[in-house]
Structures are given as structure tokens and as C-alpha cells.
Amino acid sequence: MLAQRIMTALVLLALLLPTLWWSSPWPFVALTLLLISAAAWEWARLNGLASKAAMLCAVLLAAAGLGLVLTARAAGDSHMLWLLAALAWLVGGVFVLRAGPQRWAQWPQGVRVAIGGVLLVTAWWALAQARITGVNYLLSVLCIVWAADIAAYFGGRAFGRNKLAPSISPGKSWEGVASGMLGVLALAAFWLMLDTRIAADSASVFTLLKQRFGPLLMALALLALTAMSVVGDLFESLIKRAVGAKDSSALLPGHGGVLDRVDALLPVLPCALALTTW
């Protein structure tokens, strides 16, 4: 299993890294649109659609993404979209998590599938706009999720006593969440130091937040983004638990599906853009 995970990760890196550092952002945008379309297929399958209908959902999402590219606007011009997406995650995410897996399964299938399509295409468009803004900005946003996840894993294993959401994800603890937040604050301090010493193609999300809000509110904003990464992770776990699935699919051997890898990014990407383009 470990060898399989490593091989899959190496293949993904071999595909993503050249497009990430390409002089034009569009190869990265195109590749990630393909991946998010696969996530739409997984979402549709998890919510009960048959193979052909799920494939149609993937095609429709790809078409929606292509439409956004053809009518591309700057990230700042879409600030109302990011703000609405952030509010939707804040209110809707908390509502769904409080309702639990059983309530989700009772919602009309069309509504559940449509929610997924909107969340996925919005997160992908935020990802694309982050890459257009600059590689340094994009990586700093992605690393918030990665740092929170890694710190929460080790903090939860070492100190986890109080379960966060036992009916959704029994392994998560409040101590793990706190560890993730501390990890993100440490990452921010390190990245801010790098931004003053290395000439990058763009400002990082940490520098932009500090410039806009000052150190204290920057820290609070980063804690909020970390919390939203937990909401995204729990949201996908809730859907899988509602249908009794372990992974969203087997598209990524050793890792599960695309959704399993991007779930925490779904709320963080638009929320980060909402904070830095507001």
C-alpha cells in the first residue's frame, strides 16, 4: 500500500509541477479542471447517480469551467463570488454537519448533486484565479491546508482526547484541530520571513492578510481558514458515511479518489480569495 501511495504521488507531481511552474497559468488551469471534473464524477456516484449520469455531471462541470475560462475576469473582480461562497460554507457547512449523515441522505438527489457541482466549480475557479495571481500566492494557500492537516494528525495522535465529530469522523479530536491551528500560525511566521528575503512572483496570502488587516487580524483570519479546512474535510466524511463508502473512488491508487485529496481545499480556496480581494 505504501509503495502504491508513493507511486501515485510521484505520478501526480510529475503532471502537476511542470504545469505549476509554466510561464503561462493555463496548462495548470486545464489540468486541474480535468481533475475537478473527475471529482464531480465521484460526487455524483457518491450521491447515487449511475455511471452514465455521473459521467454527464463531469462533462457539465468541465463545460462550466471552460465557460469561466473563456469569460475570465481578474480574481478581484469576482470578490462578490468569493464572499458568497465563504458565507455559503460558513452557514451551509455548519448546518449540514449539525444535521448529520442521516439527514443528508434524505435530501432530494438532484439538490445534493447540484450542491456538489457548485462547490466544486467554485473551488476550482478560485484555484485557477490563485494560480493566475501567482505561484507564491497559490502555494501559500495550499500549504495552509497541508500544514493544518499534518499538524492536526500528529497533535491528535499525541494529545487527542476529546472527539470533534464522532458520528462523522471518529478519528478527529479538538486537540488535533488546535494543533493544526498552531501549525498554520507557525507556517505563517516562516513564510512572512521568506517573503522579505526571496523575490517571488507574487505576495503570499500571509503577506496580503498582514498588509490588509494587521498581525492580530491576520492570525484570526488564518485560524478561520484552518477551521474551514476542517469543515471541508468533515463535509466529505459525512457524505461518505451517509452512503457507507470508505473512499470517494479508486481513481488514485493508494489515496482513494480526487475528492479525498481536495475536500479540505473546497472551502479554503474561495474563503482565502474572499479575504484577500475584499
pLDDT computed for residue 113 by the predictor: 96
* Structure-model confidence comparison of residues 77 and 277, the more confident one: 277
Please tell me the distance from the alpha carbon of residue 74 to that of residue 130, in angstroms, as a whole number: 10
Range 159-186 average pLDDT: 95
Q: What's the confidence (pLDDT) of residue 186?
A: 98
Q: What is the pTM of this model?
A: 0.94
* Model pLDDT, residue 271: 97
Residue 11 pLDDT level (bands cut at 50, 70, 90): confident
256: amino acid identity, one letter? G
β-bridge mates for residue 173, sequence order: 163
- The predicted structure's pLDDT at residue 252: 85
pLDDT tens string 174-215 = 999 999 999 999 999 999 999 999 889 999 999 999 999 999
d(CA 20, CA 138): 10
d(CA 259, CA 227): 18
> Residue 140 contacts by C-beta under 8 Å, 6 or more apart in sequence?
191, 204, 205, 206
Q: Which residue has the cell 487580524?
A: 217
Q: Which position has the higher pLDDT, 102 or 148?
A: 148
Residue 2 has pLDDT above 70, yes or no: no
Give percent above pLDDT 90 in the chain.
79
More confident call, 188 vs 167: 188
**Parallel/antiparallel/unpaired status of strands 169-173 and 163-165:** antiparallel
Could you report the per-residue pLDDT of 250-261, keeping only the tens digit for each? 888 878 899 999
Task: Give the C-alpha separation, 247 to 233, whole Å.
Answer: 12
For the cut 60, the answer to whether the pLDDT of residue 76 exceeds it is no
Average pLDDT value for the chain: 93
Tens of pLDDT, residue by residue over 35-75, are 999 999 999 999 999 989 999 999 999 999 999 888 876 65
What confidence score (pLDDT) does residue 8 get? 80
* Section 136-141 average pLDDT: 97
Mind listing the pLDDT tens digit for each residue in 114-123?
999 999 999 9
- Residue 7's pLDDT band (cuts 50, 70, 90): confident
pLDDT for 122 equals 96
Burial group, residue 115, by CB count within 10 angstroms (0-12, 13-18, 19+): middle
Distance between CA 152 and CA 175 in Å, rounded?
8
How big is the chain by its Cα radius of gyration, in Å?
Answer: 18
